[in-house]
């Protein structure tokens, strides 16, 4: 089995520093932002020098570009029924695809956002339309993946049915360039109990696979501060939340963890690290050791 393990590492000092820190933690996958996640980034282009630094840093690690995931900005709510907001979010998602394609990464993941008071199946169509616009505007090998959400308020993508519905609205010709990924904290807080037994966890993955017609293209490995069904999106270190360690062992040993990025988005210890310090975060190192113990990496 091949397990590509990594984290969303700290990018203080630049994107290339996030890569170097991931490399020094022994990661074979990683995640990053290409722009400030609180903004739309619909006008932000990526400078060639930044791309070059990123690629040079990556070449010093064991991380293949295909196993790098870019997390799109949280504000890109392409589920929204408000036209003006949708236009801007859609433009932001397309621009993200442009930056990420320049970097040559394997995938961009995004949270679909809130349907507000609108009909949820109409919202699924708007999300799919934004995916189509992004894929048609930016032709590249970088895939655009929906992330399941914790289900707070009217957010879309909290069930297998909803993720499936979004993807089903993407024309067949573009389907290979899209897909989805699953976040364990979001699964649990949206009501999927993956803690009861290995069979229970397997059944959840089976459900997503059957309904969407494909296995997930990444996992986010986060323990959950909130209880089952709490819809709370608060990540904690594996073993320090309500999920506990055991389900993560089952998950990384499941066939669906094979060959895809397995990314930690858990708290880090040293957010104020110096810009030029490429030492790995102690919490990331601790989490990597835990995961490697289960995968034999
Ligand atoms: Zn996530
Ligand atoms: Zn989350």
- Cβ-based neighbour number of residue 181 at 10 Å: 21
Rounded distance, CA 121 to CA 284, Å? 39
pLDDT tens digits, residue range 132-160? 999 999 999 999 999 999 999 999 999 99
The set of residues, in sequence order, having a beta carbon less than 8 Å from that of 15 and lying 6+ positions away, is 32, 34, 50, 53, 54
Residue 124 Cα, ligand 2 centroid: separation in angstroms?
Answer: 20
Ligand nearest to the CA of 263: 1
Rounded distance, CA 275 to CA 266, Å? 21
Residue 184 Cα, ligand 1 centroid: separation in angstroms?
Answer: 8
pLDDT of residue 179: 98
Query: Reduced to 3 states, what is the DSSP secondary structure of residue 160?
Result: helix
Ligand nearest to the CA of 71: 1
Residue 14 Cα, ligand 1 centroid: separation in angstroms?
Answer: 21
pLDDT of residue 257: 98
Residue 75 Cα, ligand 2 centroid: separation in angstroms?
Answer: 13
pLDDT at residue 113 greater than cutoff 80 = yes
Decide: 291 and 252 in contact? Cβ < 8 Å: yes
Res. 239 pLDDT band, cuts 50 70 90: very high
pLDDT of residue 176: 97
pLDDT of residue 131: 98
pTM of the full predicted structure? Answer: 0.97
Considering the chain, what is the average pLDDT of its residues? 97
Residue 150 Cα, ligand 1 centroid: separation in angstroms?
Answer: 9
Residue 250 Cα, ligand 1 centroid: separation in angstroms?
Answer: 19
Residue 69 Cα, ligand 2 centroid: separation in angstroms?
Answer: 15
Ligand nearest to the CA of 219: 1
Residue 150 Cα, ligand 2 centroid: separation in angstroms?
Answer: 7
pLDDT of residue 210: 98
pLDDT of residue 37: 87
Q: Which two tokens stand for residue 228?
A: 């089952």
pLDDT tens digits, residue range 58-73? 999 999 999 999 999 9
Residue in 213, 196, 178, 198 with CA at minimum distance from that of residue 255? 198
pLDDT at residue 297 greater than cutoff 90 = no
């Amino acid at each position: 089995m091949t397990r590509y393990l990594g984290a969303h590492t700290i990018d203080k000092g630049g994107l290339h520093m996030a890569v170097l820190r991931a490399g020094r933690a022994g990661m074979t996958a990683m995640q990053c932002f290409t722009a400030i996640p609180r903004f739309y980034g619909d006008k932000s282009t990526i400078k060639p020098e930044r791309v070059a630094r990123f690629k040079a840093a990556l070449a010093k690690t064991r991380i293949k570009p295909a196993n790098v995931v870019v997390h799109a900005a949280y504000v890109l709510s392409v589920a929204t029924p408000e036209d003006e907001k949708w236009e801007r979010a859609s433009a932001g998602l397309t621009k993200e695809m442009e930056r990420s394609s320049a970097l040559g990464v394997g995938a961009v993941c995004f949270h679909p956002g809130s349907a507000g008071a609108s009909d949820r199946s109409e919202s699924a169509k708007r999300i799919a339309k934004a995916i189509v616009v992004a894929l048609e505007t930016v032709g590249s090998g970088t895939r655009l993946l929906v992330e399941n959400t914790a289900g707070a308020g009217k957010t879309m993508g909290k069930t297998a049915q909803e993720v499936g519905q979004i993807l089903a609205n993407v024309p067949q010709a573009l389907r290979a360039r899209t897909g989805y990924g699953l976040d364990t904290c979001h699964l649990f807080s949206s009501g999927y109990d993956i803690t009861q037994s290995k069979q229970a966890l397997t059944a959840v993955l089976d459900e997503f696979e059957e309904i969407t017609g494909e296995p997930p293209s990444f996992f986010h490995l986060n323990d959950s501060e909130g209880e089952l069904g709490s819809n709370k999106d608060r990540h904690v270190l594996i073993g320090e939340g309500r999920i506990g360690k055991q389900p993560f062992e089952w998950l990384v040993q499941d066939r669906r963890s094979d060959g895809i990025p397995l990314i930690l988005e858990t708290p880090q210890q040293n957010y104020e690290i110096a810009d030029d310090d490429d030492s790995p975060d102690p919490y990331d190192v601790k989490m990597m050791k835990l995961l490697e113990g289960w995968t034999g990496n």
